[in-house]
Amino acid sequence: MRHQILLLLSLMLSSSMVAFSGNFYNDFYLTWGDGRCKVLNKGELLTVTLDKVSGSGFESKNEYLYARIDMQIKLVGGNSAGTVTAYYLSSKGDFHDEIDFEFLGNETGQPYTLHTNVFCQGKGNREQQFKLWFDPTADFHTYSIIWNPQHIVFMVDNTPIREYKNLEAYGVPFPKYQPMKLYSSLWNADNWATRGGLVKIDWSRAPFNAYFRTFNADNACIWSPSRSASSCKSNSIFSSFSNNGWLWEKLDFSGQGKMKWVQKNYMIYNYCTDYKRFPQGLPTECYLNPLV
């Protein structure tokens, strides 16, 4: 019990240990919502809004081929049932790659569901879902995606909650060829988001708002479509002592311990244990992850 209390305190304190930079005017396009997506405070704050007519969203100006992306988000408060706040990296096309955070709203007093997924070459079905150990509507919290040639890591307040390893050597697809942009939006998903679609949006509480600040992509390989080249120099990315050493970082012992603790206490769905969904056998990575 004492160990669990100390670990929870460590998770809570880690949220104040991440530095950020970025300006929404410089880094993003407001792509849809007819004015419902707004940049405020001289580019330091971005809001997305959902009402009965439309949701809204934005996307990064840059494309990335490997990155660490950090964003502080404050989710829709009160009765958010039926709403989804999405925050994800994605390429384009039928065979796209995608790395998803989706926050599924709930009735007042009930916790959000944090939904994660990884798409490779157009195929997803790799969902893991979590409850959070804090109220994500009371204040801003940091949600991060680490995508490098070793793995994909989903992080909350600098604490890893999920790792998708590069297991290409064993025939498991891994996103590494398609540059991705960062997207985010707030939209109506009341046909499935809350209790499988049983709870609908209460439009009397509209408009619904989510807030974003302190975007950071300092550790990122920016893709140039005109040159078909990355900003990470090919002669340096293989050196763990170069500026691109983050490309080769793996979870250390402490990170693995924190992730296991979160998964033990807060994971509510894992595709790798859903035998009914995969009667012919679980996906290959489900058997390999504990071994490599």
What are the catalytic residues? 98, 102
Compute the distance between CA of residue 166 and CA of residue 247 in angstroms, rounded to an integer: 13
The alpha carbon of residue 290 and the mean position of all alpha carbons in its chain are separated, in whole angstroms, by 23
Token digits for 134? 């804090």
The alpha carbon of residue 174 and the mean position of all alpha carbons in its chain are separated, in whole angstroms, by 17
